[in-house]
């Protein structure tokens, strides 16, 4: 992307994910995960303070599922904070990397309500299991059903999912520095000696490659093109990009409607086809006929003490600052 800085410079960046061996590609980072960059002036006499000049963001990114160029059309590429607002967030907020995503959620009434009405009450029910590495708890089914399952629109769901994903991402100032999580930084404000982390694992399906044969895949709830449970027939021709397009646009109803990106890769050594549903917040994955194993998006919480609710509460208060008032 390219951002023009007034009387200064143009910054051009391409942010890539980890190289994927199976697909032999290195896709661009999900735009929701790209942090804000704030520019300030070192001249204290400047009034008003220097601000980032920005406008409506538009552009094209390579689609990892099809290998072709595709435009962002559902509003995910949107700067939510002005330069003057963001400067304060970066200087005084332990989760500054995620502050713009939190603001985007609060600017959306449904997303904001989901945090206070569904997410936080659900997190308060979290227990813990003793493990060799500390304590953990799987909140996947509760978050998918009690939080995202109560939301109506894909846009607000995407904003909340992006905020949670950012909180679960390790951020580092330099390549050599150990990354830290937003939730970890917040926990340390009250509990300096504890460790916490949130792990989000994308939904996936795995099934045997059956090139030349057909397979029925049912549409899930939420598809605006077809009723839930509509059987769709797909002939496996060995084209991963074609299968990804079929799943994303036919089975799920298109990215603009679902907010889900589909990635498909084939492992010829094991003879298995691997599907990743990036951003799927439904309580189930599309039903695939035959020998297929699937998993919904996973939300797993970890901590060094058994009181997970207590040590995650500083982060929960950061999600909704009204709790601390």
Residue 156 Rama label (left phi>0; alpha psi -120 to 50; beta):
alpha
Is 322 part of a structural domain of the chain? no
Residue 173: the pLDDT is 56
Is 134 part of a structural domain of the chain? no
Is 236 part of a structural domain of the chain? yes
Per the structure, the count of domains in the chain is 2
The angle formed by the CA atoms of residues 151, 98 and 38, to the nearest 5 degrees, is 135
Q: How far apart are CA 82 and CA 87, in angstroms?
A: 9
Q: Which of 58, 89, 120 is the last residue before a domain boundary?
A: 89
Q: Which of 89, 109, 134 is the last residue before a domain boundary?
A: 89
Residue 69 Rama label (left phi>0; alpha psi -120 to 50; beta):
beta
Residue 204: the pLDDT is 94
Helices (H), the chain: 83-92, 96-106, 109-114, 120-123, 140-142, 154-167, 182-188, 240-246, 255-258, 308-319
Is 52 part of a structural domain of the chain? yes
Residue 274: the pLDDT is 92
Instruction: Determine the structural domain holding residue 73 and report its residue range.
Output: 1-89
Is 154 part of a structural domain of the chain? no
Query: Which pair of tokens denotes residue 218?
Result: 């049912």
pLDDT tens digits in sequence order for the chain, 325 residues long:
444 444 545 455 555 554 444 454 545 554 444 444 444 444 444 433 443 433 333 333 333 333 322 333 333 333 223 222 332 233 334 478 888 899 999 999 999 999 999 999 999 999 999 988 899 999 999 999 999 999 988 899 999 999 999 998 876 655 545 567 888 888 888 888 889 999 999 999 998 887 778 889 998 887 888 888 899 998 887 788 999 999 999 999 998 888 999 999 987 777 888 999 999 999 889 999 888 899 999 999 999 999 999 999 999 999 988 765 4
In 3D, which of 29, 36, 33, 32 has the Cα closest to residue 3?
36
DSSP state of 115: I
For helices 96-106 and 154-167, the axis angle rounded to 10 degrees is: 160
Is 220 part of a structural domain of the chain? yes
In 3D, which of 308, 301, 309 has the Cα closest to residue 164?
301
133-to-130, 137, 167, 183, 186 alpha-carbon distances in Å: 8, 12, 21, 18, 21
Is 247 part of a structural domain of the chain? yes
Is 60 part of a structural domain of the chain? yes
Residue 184: the pLDDT is 87
Q: Which of 55, 89, 123 is the last residue before a domain boundary?
A: 89
Residue 321: the pLDDT is 80
Q: In a 3-state reduction of DSSP, which class is residue 85?
A: helix
Residue 220: the pLDDT is 85
């Amino acid at each position: 992307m390219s951002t023009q800085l007034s009387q200064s410079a143009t910054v051009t960046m391409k942010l890539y994910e980890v190289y994927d061996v199976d697909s032999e590609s290195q896709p661009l980072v999900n735009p929701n995960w790209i942090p804000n960059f704030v520019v300030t002036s070192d001249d204290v006499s400047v009034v008003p303070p220097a601000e980032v000049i920005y406008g409506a963001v538009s552009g094209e990114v390579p689609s990892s599922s099809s290998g072709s160029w595709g435009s962002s059309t559902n509003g995910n590429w949107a700067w939510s904070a002005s330069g003057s607002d963001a400067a304060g967030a970066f200087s005084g907020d332990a989760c500054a990397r995620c502050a713009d995503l939190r603001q985007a959620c609060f600017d959306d009434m449904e997303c904001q309500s989901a945090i206070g009405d569904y997410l936080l009450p659900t997190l308060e029910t979290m227990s813990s299991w003793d493990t060799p590495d500390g304590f953990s708890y799987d909140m996947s089914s509760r978050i998918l059903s009690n939080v995202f399952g109560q939301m109506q629109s894909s846009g607000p769901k995407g904003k909340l999912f992006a905020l949670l994903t950012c909180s679960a991402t390790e951020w580092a100032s330099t390549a050599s520095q150990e990354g830290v999580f937003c939730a970890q930084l917040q926990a340390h404000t009250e509990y300096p000696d504890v460790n916490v982390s949130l792990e989000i694992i994308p939904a996936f399906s795995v099934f045997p490659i059956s090139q030349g044969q057909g397979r029925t895949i049912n549409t899930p709830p939420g598809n605006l093109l077809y009723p839930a449970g509509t059987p769709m027939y797909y002939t496996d021709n060995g084209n991963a990009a074609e299968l990804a397009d079929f799943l994303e646009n036919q089975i799920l109803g298109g990215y603009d409607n679902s907010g889900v990106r589909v990635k498909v890769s084939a492992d010829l050594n094991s003879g298995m086809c691997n599907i990743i549903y990036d951003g799927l917040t439904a309580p189930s994955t599309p039903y695939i006929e035959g020998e297929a194993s699937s998993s919904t998006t996973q939300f797993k919480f970890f901590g060094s003490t058994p009181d997970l609710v207590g040590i995650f509460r500083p982060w929960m208060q950061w999600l909704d600052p009204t709790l601390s008032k």
